[in-house]
Structure 1
Amino acid sequence: MAHFRDHLREQRWDDHRYYHHNLVNQSLHFVSAITFLVAYVIVWRDPWLAALLGWGISMTSRQAGHFFFEPHDYDQVNDCSHEYKEEIKVGYNLARKVVLMGLWAFSPVLLLANPSLFGLVTPHAGLMSFLENLGMMWLALGVGGLVFRTVQLFFIRDVETGLVWATKILTDPFNDFRLYCRAPGQLARRAAAWRPGKAS
């Protein structure tokens, strides 16, 4: 158990030091963490709504931080290239995230084209039932993505690495909230200090 905790701490530290340099990215992860925590509370009552929040706000905000704000050039702090970080990434690196987010973006189109989803759901009769079906699709995608990569890690790494990674992903909202709760305030102060025309 102690080794499991050490391994979890290592994965969290690598994730933070390699992929969360940018203050905007950290702030978006804080927004993502809050939304995921809300989703965790309501998933037991309204799983479709929790999934809409999880994918529609949490995942889009955190992935926007990675794709658009986090630097992809040589990492001077850790003395390694972006390509190296992508290669050793335990979970979903940017290339794998493109596939996952592509499936997410395509799912509403699929549901509109095939409202019964090949007989898996009751066809929607209006906007609310469409959102309920879409939310359940996104929930299945999230669970499937988690299970798929966990089992994949069992084979390409080892069982403990997969279980540690799954634990990390499920507890990331709590960890990100703690790590990045000060980032929005720091970002706001930096933006205020940078205002054009402000005397230096």
Structure 2
Amino acid sequence: MNDFLAKVRTLRWDDHRYYHQSRINQTLHLISALSFLVAYGLLFSDPALAGLVGWLVGMVSRQSGHIFFEPRGFDTIHNTTYEHKESIKAGYNMQRKGILISVWLGIPLLLAARPDLFGLMDAQDAFAHKLGLLWLGLACAGVTLRTLQLFVLRSPAWGLAWAFKIVTDPFHNIDIYWRSPIALLRGQLLDPLDEHQPAEA
């Protein structure tokens, strides 16, 4: 168990220092995290709405932070290139995210063209309801697929650690980014990242 938790801490630390230097990105991750907690709660009463909230609020705010605000040049703090960070990222790097986002955007188009989704859904059901369920399925498939890939590329332990990290990221993001809006209001656009990796990590 200690080894598993150490892997989770390593993944979280690398993710934070390499991909969350922008205070705007951190603030958007805070908004995303709060919306994902709402989506988690909705899973028990309205899974379709959970899918809509998770993607339209959680994922849009989260990925907008990465796409539009996170620096992509040479990382002088860590003395490494953006390309190197992308090559070692355990989860979805920008290339993999591009594929995932393309599928996400393609689902409503497919559903508009085939309301019954080739006989898999009731054509009379509300479009938003069906879309939410499909997006929820995409999220589950995305996490499962990358977990299985990491089983092969690294090890089952690393795959499970990454999956655990993803599922618990909303709680962790709130814990480490709740001060980011305050820093942003004070004019700090980039986190100086002068803190050291926690001793337990």
TM-score scaled to structure 1, two decimals?
A: 0.92
Bigger RCO of structures 1 and 2 (CA < 8 A, at least 6 apart) = 2
Question: In structure 2, what residue type is equivalent to 1:190?
Answer: G
The amino acid that maps onto 2:147 is T
Which string of whole-angstrom CA distances, capped at 9 and with x for unpartnered residues, describes residues 9-61 of structure 1? Answer: 00000000000000000000000000000111111110000110000010011
1:158 aligns with 2:158: no
Higher percent of residues as helix: 1
Paired position in structure 1 for 2:30: 30
Structure-to-structure mapping, 1:78-117, within 5 angstroms: 78-117=78-117
- Structure 1, 177-186 or 15-24: larger mean CA deviation: 177-186
Q: Could you list the runs of 5+ residues in structure 1 that have no partner in the other structure?
A: 192-200
Counterpart of 1:173 in structure 2 is: 170
Q: Secondary structure of 1:160's match? A: helix
| Matched residue type, 1:65 | G
- Does residue 148 of the first structure (1) align with residue 148 of the second (2)? no
Name structure 2 gaps, 5 residues minimum. Answer: 189-201
Aligned residue pair count: 188
Counterparts of 1:189 and 1:166, CA distance in 2: 35
Instruction: Normalising by structure 2, report the TM-score.
Output: 0.91
Larger radius of gyration: 1
CA distance in 2, matches of 1:67, 1:106: 19
Equivalent runs, 1:1-150 vs 2, <5 Å: 1-124=1-124, 129-150=126-147
Distance 2:38 2:48 in 1: 13
8 Å Cα contact 1:111/1:117 also seen in 2? yes
**Off by >3 Å, runs of 4+ in structure 1:** none
State the Cα RMSD in Å.
1.0
